[in-house]
A and B are shown apart, each in its own frame.
Chain A
């Protein structure tokens, strides 16, 4: 199944230099399980960070060069639309769940899904082909270690969660062997998108240095009361009280149901 990994313009959170986002490196790992030759797509002014993706297991990378500060969404949508209409269309598009070093809203995959009219699944941690041809089984990460296993019809867009398997190690030779294809932005027909949505703000806003704000203190909601103090009950009675308390407060439910 042909897979395309979307690579964002990411900056290292410590040094601020362009690098490959870890989520996207994990996405390449997931794609390599499905596709022998996973492809990448990067739209932006430079491919300095994204080209490292070839070293993590991509076999080819398409780079569409745009000017600094330009919205990449029309170019991404246009490129993918071309690919979907061509022969051997891609079946799966993988992205990281949030960007790094930019506005970090995580909305680009959703706008892309809207523009391409494809279903989108969030927070994938494992992906494998379904039993029926043209389907895919995606495990989504949920709170408290739970997973949601969704069978979905292809083609689909999926965002990758940080709990996905760690990325393949970087190999310099693999990066040199990978094929880098450059395209000019004006050669790609821009798809109609609701492009203003990529920016998280309406009108003007000022950007200022970040100020750390303390989070709320976590305190417990309930207090002790004498009615809940049991001095020297029989062990069986104590066990019954504990299970009743757990079930009353909806922590766990024990039994056959």
Chain B
């Protein structure tokens, strides 16, 4: 074991409080940070202290904890520290450097990201996490190169040592050709893709162009082995991680340790290529009102706190969100059953969830467990949805809805 042994006597000595004229007493609540072993460890006490979300303002004092048992990552810890200056929650993992630098990489691993809208998606983070895993495999010393079509924030936190921005290109053929140039120049040990949309397309174009096999839709990835299913999921093949791989969704853990530096890569500027066969490209955005709840990225949802459903539907359309509802509302026949969110309805994969007048039954919270951003509007300060939300507003949803509608109309004109 590399962990430093506990010394009960020394711990007792630190807990002893000497007071003049009285016999020494023990302060068992006192917790000193032990010597840093360099090994990242969670500190549940600090996390618990940091999960204190606030106290009631009116009435008898009552503490509110965020009990959703989400793991505290560094970004959250920093955010809490900013919000609550009295609490030292920054140092969640003591004894680690603030920035991880790989100066002379022994090899490089490419992570090809989609980064739609200039933001890293969950899938992008997973691809970076898989690349990080392979770069640290064996003796380590590898560098992760993030490759994406536009500049993105937060690549260092997601585990990228180097950043290579491709020229903005409309078609996958041009992106694949640019990537081919980068692969020839830097000779990466692995190139990782997301098995989704354009990334999957580019992966196959690259594999066909360099004449190497593609290990597609990897289900299980470790430093020693990559496994994928074949024959409609009846059999699988596993082998040492090959050069070209595409990772399935929710198969690799995102990176959550010390931020990397995300230094821009110095390479010869890639020349602008063009695709002679493509005459024009036009993106037609999807209509959120027609999308299924499981496919959409933004859901506007109504619960028992909403009584004017015509206004609610107008609001959902104006906010460009898909309308959803809680079980109570669907049972009452005020919204169709296919709009129901929760354990017995749809489990969402959306990025953002706006809950209007929903208190947050456990079954409902299961349905939104995967949503990154939750906004709650509710009259009850102690509702579970308020605790879960990233932005919580204690106000009547029936009053907020017309105000939102008015504000949106003002923005339109």
Contact B319 A252 (CB under 8 A): yes
Interface contact B295-A144, CB-CB below 8 Å = yes
- Closest CB-CB distance, B395 to chain A, in whole Å? 5
Query: With an 8 A cutoff between CB atoms, is B238 at the interface?
Result: yes
Q: Which of B173, B233, B250, B284 contacts A149 (CB 8 A)?
A: B284
Interface residue A223 (Cβ < 8 Å from any Cβ of B): yes
Within 8 A of A (CB), among B101-140: 116-119, 122, 126
Contact B395 A238 (CB under 8 A): yes
Which A residues are in CB contact (< 8 Å) with B278?
119, 150-153
Q: Is the CB of B393 within 8 A of A221?
A: no
> Is B286 within 8 A of A216, CB to CB?
no
Q: Are A144 and B237 in contact (CB under 8 A)?
A: no
Q: Does A233 contact B (CB under 8 A)?
A: yes
A11 contacts B53, C-beta separation under 8 Å: no
8 Å CB interface, B358-384 against A: 369-375, 377, 381
Instruction: Indicate with 1 or 0, residue by residue over A224-250, a CB within 8 angstroms of chain B CB atoms.
Output: 111111111101101111110110011
Contact of A250 among B117, B276, B389, B412 (CB under 8 A): B117
Chain B residues lying within 8 Å of A147, measured Cβ to Cβ, are 283-284, 286
Q: Give chain B residues whose Cβ lies under 8 Å from the Cβ of A227.
A: 83
Task: List B contacts of A120 (CB < 8 A).
Answer: 173, 205
Q: Is A100 an interface residue (CB 8 A)?
A: yes
0/1 per residue, A150-164, Cβ < 8 Å to B?
111100100000000
Closest to A231 in B: B394
Query: What's the Cα separation between A146 and B404 when bound, in Å?
Result: 26
Asked if B237 contacts A205 (CB within 8 A), the reply is yes
Decide if B404 touches A243 in the complex (CB within 8 Å).
yes
> Are A197 and B212 within 8 A (Cβ)?
yes
Question: Does A181 reach chain B (CB closer than 8 Å)?
Answer: no
Q: Which residue of B lies closest to A105 (CB)?
A: B216
How far apart are the CA atoms of A120 and B207 in the complex, in Å? 14
Are B277 and A11 touching (Cβ within 8 A)? no
Chain A nearest CB: distance from B289 CB in Å? 10
Q: In the complex, which residues 201-233 of chain A have their Cβ closer than 8 Å to any Cβ of chain B?
A: 201-203, 205-211, 213, 215-233
Please tell me which one of the listed residues B211, B275, B291, B387 contacts residue A145 in the complex, with CB atoms under 8 A apart: B291
Stretch at the interface among B26-34, B183-191, B196-204, B336-344: B196-204
In the complex, whether A48 has a CB less than 8 A from a CB of chain B is no
Assuming the contacts A196-B211, A223-B68, A225-B79, asked whether A211 and B236 have C-beta atoms less than 8 A apart, the reply is yes
Residue on A nearest B58 in the bound complex, by CB: A231
The digit string for B328-339, where 1 denotes a CB below 8 A from any CB of A, is 000000000000
Binds A, one of B10-18, B91-99, B142-150, B224-232: B224-232
Chain B CB within 8 A of A256 CB: yes
A183 to chain B, nearest CB (A): 25
Which of A60-68, A76-84, A108-116 participates in binding chain B? Answer: A108-116
- Compute how far the CA of A228 lies from the CA of B201 in the bound complex, rounded to whole angstroms: 40
User: Is B395 touching A235 in the complex (CB atoms < 8 A)?
Assistant: yes
State the CA gap A114–B229 with chains docked (Å): 26
A145 touches B286 (CB 8 A): yes
The reply to whether B213 and A196 form a contact with Cβ atoms under 8 Å apart is yes
- The answer to whether A224 and B242 touch (CB under 8 A), given A146-B285, A149-B281, is no
Q: Is A199 in contact with chain B by the CB < 8 A criterion?
A: yes
Tell me whether B374 and A220 are in contact (CB under 8 A). yes
Q: Can you list, as one digit per residue, whether each of A15-56 has a CB less than 8 Å from chain B (1) or not (0)? A: 010000000000000000000000000000000000000000
Judging by beta carbons under 8 Å apart, are A119 and B275 in contact?
yes
A103 to B172, CA, bound (A): 24
Task: Evaluate contact between B236 and A208: CB separation under 8 angstroms.
Answer: yes
**B320 pairs with A230, CB closer than 8 A:** no
Residues of chain B within 8 A (CB-CB) of A240 are 407
Q: A256 — which chain B residues lie within 8 A by C-beta? A: 411-412
Q: A227-B83, A239-B400, A242-B375 are in contact. Are A107 and B216 (CB under 8 A)?
A: yes
Whether a CB of chain A sits under 8 angstroms from the CB of B351 is: yes
- Interfacial chain A residues near B249, Cβ < 8 Å: 215
Does A168 lie at the interface of the complex (its beta carbon under 8 Å from any beta carbon of B)?
Answer: no
A128 within 8 A of B: no
A200–B212 Cα distance when bound, in Å, is 8
Which 3 pairs of residues, A with B, have the shortest CB-CB distance? A145-B286, A218-B370, A119-B277
Residues of A with Cβ closer than 8 Å to B? Answer: 11, 13, 16, 100-107, 109-111, 113-114, 119-120, 122-123, 130, 135, 139, 142-153, 156, 194, 196-197, 199-203, 205-211, 213, 215-233, 235-236, 238-243, 245-246, 249-252, 254-256
Q: List 23 A-B contacts (CB under 8 A).
A: A100-B232, A104-B216, A142-B283, A150-B278, A150-B280, A153-B276, A194-B211, A200-B237, A201-B215, A205-B238, A207-B230, A219-B70, A223-B66, A223-B76, A224-B390, A232-B395, A235-B400, A238-B395, A238-B400, A245-B390, A246-B319, A254-B319, A254-B412
Q: A105-B213, A149-B283, A209-B234 are in contact. List 7 more A-B contacts (CB 8 A).
A: A142-B197, A145-B286, A145-B291, A147-B283, A220-B390, A239-B400, A251-B351
